[in-house]
């Protein structure tokens, strides 16, 4: 089979989020999903303007994308994605997961797409734009979160005709909010973000001044 044919039939993870910043919890979930579900590649998709966070303006898109790219460096099956960057690469437009899935499906029409998210997010899926259509475009990999553990009953209720794979071996307890606070206070970020991401945050002064 050609390389193009293998790519078309690949099992691809889609991991979206504001990634403000991307942290070790995100990376642990991605590595566990890659191993357990034998994914060929995981695309990390920094969001544009998340519709569920209208009152908070995230850090500039290119900063968040750069941090994702730094975190993925050295991980051959991880790739940063510009799918939600928008036409000006500024990430200022509202981003919806259904649109990202449609773009990915056009790129990989025969691939198995696996949407990676936390249990807390999955439980709110019925409030997402065109969520029933989402369940027809992908499978789900749902990671447990502190205080949130997805039951088989909940999975069947929310996505009755869609494979929902529960990832209970990793619980990402790291908080992007807490990391931003630590950076603002000038405290070490060691162990909370990949080293290259910490270096970037320090070098450009992210979270220590208004953006």
Q: Which alpha helices (H) appear in 87-173, and where do they start and end?
A: 97-107, 119-122, 131-137, 152-158
Output the pLDDT for position 68.
Answer: 98
Domain assignment of residue 106, yes or no: yes
* SS3 call for 43: strand
pTM, two decimal places: 0.91
Domain assignment of residue 187, yes or no: yes
CA-wise closest residue to 89 among 65, 113, 123: 65
Q: How many angstroms separate the CA atoms of 136 and 148, rounded?
A: 24
Residues 34, 42: contact at Cβ < 8 Å? yes
Output the pLDDT for position 167.
Answer: 94
Domain assignment of residue 182, yes or no: yes
Q: How many angstroms separate the CA atoms of 207 and 211, rounded?
A: 8
Start-to-end Cα distance in the chain: 48
Domain assignment of residue 211, yes or no: no
> Domain tally for the chain?
1
Output the pLDDT for position 1.
Answer: 44
Residues 19, 64: contact at Cβ < 8 Å? yes
Output the pLDDT for position 185.
Answer: 93
We report the CATH number of the domain holding residue 168 as 3.40.50.620
Output the pLDDT for position 138.
Answer: 97
Q: How many angstroms separate the CA atoms of 135 and 163, rounded?
A: 9
Find the domain containing 137 and state its range. 3-204
Non-local (6+) Cβ contacts of 75 within 8 A are none
Q: Which alpha helices (H) appear in 73-194, and where do they start and end?
A: 97-107, 119-122, 131-137, 152-158, 176-184
Domain assignment of residue 100, yes or no: yes
Domain assignment of residue 8, yes or no: yes
Domain assignment of residue 179, yes or no: yes
Domain assignment of residue 209, yes or no: no
Backbone angles phi and psi of 183, in degrees to 5: -65, -40
pLDDT along the chain (211 residues), means of 10: 57 96 96 97 92 74 97 97 82 86 96 96 95 97 86 94 92 85 94 97 86 45
Output the pLDDT for position 171.
Answer: 67
């Amino acid at each position: 089979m050609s390389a193009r044919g293998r790519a078309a039939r690949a099992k691809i993870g889609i991991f979206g989020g504001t990634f403000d910043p991307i942290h070790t919890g995100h990376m642990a979930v991605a590595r566990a999903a890659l191993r357990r579900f034998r994914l060929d590649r995981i695309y990390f998709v920094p969001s544009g303007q998340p519709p569920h966070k209208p009152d908070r303006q995230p850090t500039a898109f290119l900063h968040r994308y750069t941090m994702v790219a730094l975190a993925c460096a050295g991980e051959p099956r991880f790739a940063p994605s510009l799918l939600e960057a928008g036409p000006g690469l500024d990430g200022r437009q509202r981003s919806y997961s259904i649109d990202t899935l449609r773009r990915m499906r056009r790129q990989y029409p025969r691939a198995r797409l696996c949407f990676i998210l936390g249990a807390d997010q999955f439980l709110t899926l019925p409030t997402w734009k065109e969520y029933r259509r989402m369940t027809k475009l992908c499978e789900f990999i749902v990671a447990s979160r502190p205080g949130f553990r997805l039951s088989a009953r909940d999975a069947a209720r929310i996505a009755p005709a869609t494979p929902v794979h529960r990832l209970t071996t990793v619980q990402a307890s790291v908080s992007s909010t807490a990391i931003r606070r630590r950076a603002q206070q000038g405290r070490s970020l060691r162990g909370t973000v990949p080293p290259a991401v910490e270096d970037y945050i320090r070098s450009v002064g992210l979270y220590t001044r208004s953006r």
